[in-house]
Amino acid sequence: MGVQNPSPIPGLRWLPYLFAAGAVFWLVELTRFAAYLAAPAGRSLLEETLTTGGLTGNVAAILAVESTLIVFFGVSATVLHGAAYYGLKRLRAWGWVAAVIASAGWSLVLLGIPVLVLLLRRSTREAYGIN
């Protein structure tokens, strides 16, 4: 017989799925942004936005740098949420760490504060092997 997943902790059973939803959210955002970049009308709209924002230099180069940064942060957020999902699902300490980092990032927009408080509770830390 294979290795079974650890038994879920009663109050934390939903927690991994919250981070899975975060990964899906970032994948959708990356797809939307890629669609803007791929479509000539979307790309010209982004260039126009940069121009009306006061940029007078090489707008195409600035758009390329900005797009690279957006894609980098989007992929990083997706990977972090995915790691949190798999780590929390298997009750691993690294999953808890990834979840804390993701929640700290979300706390910048106030959404992650309740989850961050839950993750930092002693009972939650002990459930994931963090003493």
Question: Distance between CA atoms of 118 and 64, rounded to whole angstroms?
Answer: 39
Mean pLDDT of all residues belonging to the chain: 88
Contact 130, 94 (CB under 8 A): no
Going by pLDDT thresholds of 50, 70 and 90, the confidence category of residue 99 is: very high
Domain that holds residue 97: 14-127
Whether 6 is in a domain gets the answer no
- Would 113 be classed as within a structural domain? yes
Beta strands in 9-61 (DSSP E): none
Q: Is residue 68 part of a domain?
A: yes
Q: For 117-128, how does the pLDDT look when each residue is reduced to its tens digit (9 = 90+)?
A: 888 888 888 888
Whether residue 9 lies inside any domain: the answer is no
pLDDT of 4 above 80: no
Residue 3 placed within a domain: no
* Residues 35, 15: Cα–Cα separation, whole Å: 31
